Structure 1
Amino acid sequence: MPLNPQARAVLDVMATTGFKLAGDPAAVRAMIALTPRPQGEAVTAVEDRMVPANGAEIPVRIYRPDDARAAKPALIWFHGGGWVIGSLDGADFGCRMMANASGCVVISVDYRLAPEHKFPTAVDDCMGVTQWIAENGASLGVDGSRLAVGGDSAGGNLAAVVSQLARDAGGPSLSFQALVYPVTNYDYGTDSYRENAAGYLLERASMEWFWGHYLRSEADGASAKASPLRHTNLTGLPPAIVITAEFDPLRDEGETYAERLRAAGVPVELMRFAGEIHGFYANPAIDEGSEAARLIGRAVGRALG
């Protein structure tokens, strides 16, 4: 498929700004923070809270699609950004759509970022928040027995890893995982890395920058906590939806992970968005990004009942 014209327009704008995922992470974050953000869909309530996890207080943002008093199932969402950038504000547009489309509470997690907090801090923050919600969901108006995890890019990596850790530890019980172009392997040897190494927003050099800041050493990349594709046993994991994008270096590792889940007996829905780039998901400038966010929301709603 040709590149989606709206994706091309995004790339053209990025080219004029000179934005690069390179250099000092703090400077990149500051530049992103100055980018205007459109108003997202209205939801009934949005609340910022702190959750104790992994020896810290982790900020979360809670989206409620209605004012029902009964405890509701929840999607715990981990934002993208290569474990180095990304924020609650950056995930806000998509979280609102997912809450409305699912009818579930969405809890967005502001895990700590690298390089200030290297691997496995982000994993342990996300696992700790998930455990806390499972045990204390009632205090948030959430049914802790009906939980899904999800995320995009690095957030998809964290959702996949949390699903594996929860299964291996015997809990908390997770009902579903939503993985949007997830990072699943510390490896640059796939066809999609070769085909999309440059020119499509996320580049091979970008991923080298992200991994370089995230990992403490090369050896960390071999761990399933960093590369969930390398886990030797994928049986018994929650059902999944996996979304990939055609012009994305991460396309093949996401699809390979979906295929391995399916081979292990895990129900999986895999969708590749033709003509799209990494970063299209919940992107206000790309219509299919909103469609994908609502699709994820509906899948979560079905899975959590």
Structure 2
Amino acid sequence: MRTAPSSSTSASWSPKPAARACTRPGMLVQRSSALTGSRYPGHLTHRQGRRYPARMPLDPAAAPIIELMEASFPRLPEAGEDAAALRARLEALPKVPITEEIAACEDRAIPGPTGDLPVRIYRPMTHPHDPLPGTVYFHGGGWVICGLDSHDGACRRLANAVNAVVVSVDYRLAPEHPYPAAVDDGYAALEWVTSHANELGIDPSRIAVAGDSAGGNIAAVVAQMARDRSGPSLAYQLLVYPVIDSTSTRNERPSRTENAEGYFLVLKQMEWYREMYVRDDTTGAEPYCSPHVAESLAGLPPACIVTAEMDLLRDEGEHYASVLEAAGVPVTMYRAPGMFHGFFNMHLVLDGAKDAQKVAFEAMRAGLETA
């Protein structure tokens, strides 16, 4: 991976040249020299003349987890409910115990576009005295639900695994705050982290964005906003089963048919989330809503994109990897065989999550160490 130019807290964007690809059929697509020769049970991204292996069945270890999740996790509002009531049902669920110890965790309120923006700052358990890389994290939840607490464990894990200061952003939620509120909050958070890098113990030349699902969408868009506005120079982006396509043709992708039912995130649910956030097809066609439609993707930071084979968002995430690569952006693409939407942070119970985290965190750590 190419070394990013050193920057100050006010440095403007500078494009990152593409790295050479190292690919094998049926293997991880990887661009990081630190991973050269590694073998994982994932699959290649879309490439001209290449195909994925035959579709695998759902991982047997995943079936009881999906059953438990579907029995306990609120999906769509029930009759007479609204999004706020859905959030209240989610909040009433038993809290997941903390299993990942970190050096420090602090809640703060930073300036946002319309007022205070809550964030949570995590410092890894083991870190040098020198400034660390930083990661601005955006939680999933369809732009409608979840927050700092729901993804607390994920951010703790990320901080330790990547050895970075992680700043989790409690962006405004739809439908009370539809597009572009979430991405505006996300960009404001990135600017704040960059301008306060010294205070946070962060190296401003090694800042990444990351997110899962709708948070992956926000991370991808914030990376484009930083480039377009000559803003903070990002070193990396980690997108975990991101929502990429909110255009009128989104449901023409095969994975949205193959995985429309039965794997936790169902199509009806995804459409409801989109309606809460996007509202109409004109908005959905904007690049800060559907990042793959941007006129150019050149100059974006190196990326790691993780998809799940049984996820209806699979194809759009892999398409984004392919168009980023075509634009000269170094990409690590990993499809988790037999896995489903939401699996990534279940490393304590799913080997598939452990494998995916190993790929993603090693790629991200290598990218931030060499930036």
1:46 Cα deviation after fit: 0.9
- What is the alpha-carbon distance in structure 2 between the residues aligned to residue 72 and residue 16 of structure 1? 41
Aligned-partner Cα distance in 2 for 1:275–1:199: 13
Structure 1 pair 240–18 and aligned structure 2 pair: CA distance change class (3 A): closer
Of 131, 136, 146, which aligns to 2:191? 131
Deviation at 1:285, TM superposition (A): 4.2
Q: Partner amino acid for 2:58?
A: L
Aligned partners of 2:112, 2:130: CA distance in 1, in Å? Answer: 26
Answer whether contact 2:334 2:359 (CA < 8 A) is retained: no
Answer with 218-227 or 291-300: which moved more.
Answer: 291-300
Q: Which residue of 2 aligns with 1:154?
A: 214
If each structure's strand is expressed as a fraction of its own residues, which one has the higher value? 1
Matches of 1:179 and 1:5, distance apart in 2: 25
Counterpart AA for 2:168: S
1:103 aligns with 2:103: no
5+ residue gaps, structure 2: 1-55
Counterpart contact for 2:127–2:163, Cα < 8 Å: no
| 1:14 aligns to 2:69 (yes or no) | yes
Does structure 1 residue 112 correspond to structure 2 residue 172?
yes
Structure 1 residue 38, shift from structure 2 partner = 2.8
| Cα distance in 2 for residues equivalent to 1:18 and 1:73 | 34
Aligned to 2:229: 169
Runs of 4 or more above 6 Å deviation: none
Where 1:126 maps in the other structure, the secondary structure is helix
Report the equivalent of 1:180: 240
Does the Cα contact within 8 Å between 1:97 and 1:293 map onto a contact in 2? no
Residue 253 in structure 1 maps to residue 312 in structure 2: no
Aligned length: 305
Structure 1 gap ranges (5+)? none
Conserved in 2, the CA contact under 8 Å of 1:153 and 1:181? yes
Superimposed CA distance per residue, residues 251-271 of structure 1 (whole angstroms, 9 cap, x where no aligned partner)? 000000000000111000100
Q: Residue 278 of structure 1 corresponds to which residue in structure 2?
A: 341
Structure 1 letter corresponding to 2:275: G
**Matching residue of 2:106:** 47
Helix, strand or coil at the partner of 2:338: strand
Distance 1:113 1:291 in 2: 31
Q: 1:290 to 1:63 in 2, by over 3 A?
A: farther
Alpha-carbon deviation of 1:229?
0.9
**CA 1:290 to 1:84, structure 2 compared with 1: closer, same or farther past 3 Å?**
farther
- 1:139, distance to aligned residue in structure 2 (A): 1.9
Deviation string, structure 1 residues 103-158 (Cα, Å, up to 9, x no partner): 11111111110011111000000001101111122122222222000100101101
Change (3 A) 1:263 1:70: same
Change (3 A) 1:218 1:22: farther
**CA drift at 1:18:** 7.5
Query: 1:221 deviation in Å?
Result: 0.3
Q: Decide whether the 8 Å contact of 2:77 with 2:85 is kept in 1.
A: no
Whichever residue aligns with residue 235 of structure 2, its letter is S
Moved more, 283-292 or 33-42: 283-292
The whole-number CA distance in structure 2 between the counterparts of 1:101 and 1:15 is 29
TM-score, normalising length from structure 1?
Answer: 0.95
For 2:343, the aligned partner's letter is F
In structure 1, what is the Cα distance between the partners aligned to 2:339 and 2:146? 20
Partner of 1:32: 90
CA gap 1:40/1:294 in 2 versus in 1, 3 angstroms: farther
SS class of match (1:76): strand
Partner AA of 2:318 in structure 1: E
Which residue type is aligned with residue 34 of structure 1? A
Mapped contact 1:100–1:297 kept (Cα < 8 A): no
Q: Could you tell me which residue of structure 2 aligns to residue 60 of structure 1?
A: 119
Alignment pair present for 1:264 and 2:327: yes
Within 2, Cα distance between the matches of 1:154 and 1:179?
10
Which whole-Å CA distance do the structure 2 matches of 1:105 and 1:288 have between them? 26
Compute the displacement of 1:96 (Å).
1.1
Between the aligned partners of 1:270 and 1:294, the Cα distance in structure 2 is: 13
**Structure with larger Rg:** 2
Take 1:125 and 1:90, find their aligned partners in 2: how far apart are those partners? 18
Secondary structure at the aligned position of 2:337 is classed as strand
Equivalent-residue separation in structure 2 for 1:135 and 1:125 (angstroms): 15
Indicate conservation of the 8 Å contact 1:137/1:144, yes or no: yes
Matched position secondary structure for 2:122? strand
Aligned to 1:189: 252
Q: Describe the shift of the 1:69–1:50 C-alpha distance in structure 2 as closer, same or farther (beyond 3 A).
A: farther
* Identity fraction in percent: 47
8 Å Cα contact 1:181/1:250 also seen in 2: yes
User: Alpha carbon RMSD of aligned pairs, Å?
Assistant: 1.6
CA apart distance, 1:223: 0.4
Cα shift at 1:232: 1.6
Do the aligned residues in 2 keep the contact of 1:166 with 1:173 (CA within 8 Å)? yes
How far apart are the structure 1 equivalents of 2:165 and 2:73? 37
